[in-house]
């Protein structure tokens, strides 16, 4: 479902006929999605449905089986072509479990890529940037010396966000940022996602199945179902959707409302 009414110059990320097969399993069948510059797009869908796979295509961690991924009007990958190194400088990613480097302190985690990509920076400048990023995610400078193992789940995700924004990306990708967190900590993360958009003017893509989070942070929501994007819309459009699958998902119903021509999606239990 491409958004044909969008000016191509306003599109930051474009997925065209994206297909991904792992062995015999076709995870993405035909995904079409345009994400506008500066917006927060939330991709929702069932666990194991391929949401994270979409995100990994955007940052070039996976190569499509078919279709193409375009970032900022540059095609970064198709089934034959794969060059994501230059485009990754524009992107930051917050992984589901944080994926902090366990052998490094919090400060080192944030500084590592910064130091490697900006050899002209002095150690003092790097430490200043680390403290500035920690401040952005509302953590005190003392946290720079803590090891990841000493941090709670919520703090790990905040540090992962600080690491993702260390290189001042234009796009931030969030892979299930609130999974495994209590509702209050989840809300702190939601506020941080909104903060990032407000303060850094970044384009954000959030993959989640936490509807409270999706409704809070999204400018638009895309629903992935059965390897396709079946609906894209604003929060209000999604809340008032007539699509039975979207309605079932956002209301957390185990079964679809019965009706002619409606097949229940596969249940995981």
Partner 1 sequence: MAVGEIFWLLFQIVRRVPLVRKNPELTIRQMVAIGVSSIPLLFVTSLFTGAVAAVQAEYQFRNFIPDKFIGTAICKMVLIELGPILTALVLAGRVGSALAAEIGSMKGKEELAAFEALNLDPLRYLALPRFLAFFFMVPCLSILSSFLAIIGGWFVCVIALDITTYTYYTGLQYMFQNMDLFSGIIKSFAFGVIIFLLGYYHGLNAGEGAKGVGNATMKTVVSACVSLLIFDFFIALLMFS
How far apart CA 156 and CA 172 sit, in angstroms, is 17
Least Cβ distance, residue 117 to partner 1 (angstroms): 7
How far apart CA 240 and CA 149 sit, in angstroms, is 43
Pairing, β 171-175 against β 91-94? parallel
Least Cβ distance, residue 226 to partner 1 (angstroms): 24
When the beta carbons of 95 and 143 are compared against partner 1, the nearer one is 95
Binding site for partner 1 (CB under 8 A): 56, 59-61, 85, 88-89, 91-93, 95-97, 99-102, 112-113, 116-117, 163, 167
When the beta carbons of 90 and 209 are compared against partner 1, the nearer one is 90
When the beta carbons of 31 and 91 are compared against partner 1, the nearer one is 91
How far apart CA 70 and CA 140 sit, in angstroms, is 37
In contact, 245 and 256? CB cutoff 8 Å: yes
When the beta carbons of 91 and 205 are compared against partner 1, the nearer one is 91
Pair of tokens at residue 2: 């491409």
Least Cβ distance, residue 24 to partner 1 (angstroms): 18
Least Cβ distance, residue 34 to partner 1 (angstroms): 22
In contact, 177 and 193? CB cutoff 8 Å: yes
Burial class (CB in 10 A: 0-12, 13-18, 19+), 198: exposed
Q: What is the CA radius of gyration of the chain?
A: 19
When the beta carbons of 113 and 147 are compared against partner 1, the nearer one is 113
When the beta carbons of 119 and 259 are compared against partner 1, the nearer one is 119
Pair of tokens at residue 83: 């060059």
In contact, 36 and 192? CB cutoff 8 Å: no
Least Cβ distance, residue 250 to partner 1 (angstroms): 28
In contact, 16 and 70? CB cutoff 8 Å: yes
Residue found by looking up tokens 């510059």 in the block: 37
Least Cβ distance, residue 3 to partner 1 (angstroms): 26
């Amino acid at each position: 479902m491409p958004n044909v009414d969008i000016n191509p110059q306003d599109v930051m990320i474009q997925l065209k006929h994206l297909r991904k097969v792992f062995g015999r399993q076709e995870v993405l069948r035909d995904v079409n999605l345009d994400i506008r510059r500066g917006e927060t797009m939330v991709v929702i869908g069932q666990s194991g449905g391929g949401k994270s796979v979409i995100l990994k295509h955007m940052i070039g961690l996976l190569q499509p089986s078919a279709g193409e991924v375009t970032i900022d009007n540059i095609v970064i990958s198709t089934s034959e072509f794969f060059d994501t190194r230059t485009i990754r400088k524009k992107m930051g990613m917050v992984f589901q479990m944080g994926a902090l480097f366990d052998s490094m302190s919090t400060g080192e985690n944030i500084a590592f890529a910064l130091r490697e990509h900006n050899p002209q920076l002095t150690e003092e400048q790097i430490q200043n940037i680390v403290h500035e990023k920690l401040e952005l995610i509302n953590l005190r400078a003392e946290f720079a010396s803590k090891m990841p193992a000493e941090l709670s789940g919520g703090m790990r995700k905040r540090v992962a966000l600080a690491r993702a924004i260390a290189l001042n990306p234009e796009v931030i990708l969030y892979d299930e940022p609130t999974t495994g967190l209590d509702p209050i900590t989840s809300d702190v993360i939601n506020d941080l996602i909104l903060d990032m958009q407000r303060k850094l003017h970044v384009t954000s893509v959030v993959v989640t199945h936490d509807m409270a989070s999706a409704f809070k942070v999204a400018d638009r929501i895309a629903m992935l179902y059965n390897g396709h994007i079946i609906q894209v819309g604003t929060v209000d459009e999604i809340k008032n959707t007539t699509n039975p699958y979207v309605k079932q998902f956002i209301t957390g119903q185990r079964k679809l409302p019965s009706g002619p021509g409606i097949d229940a999606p596969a249940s995981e239990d």
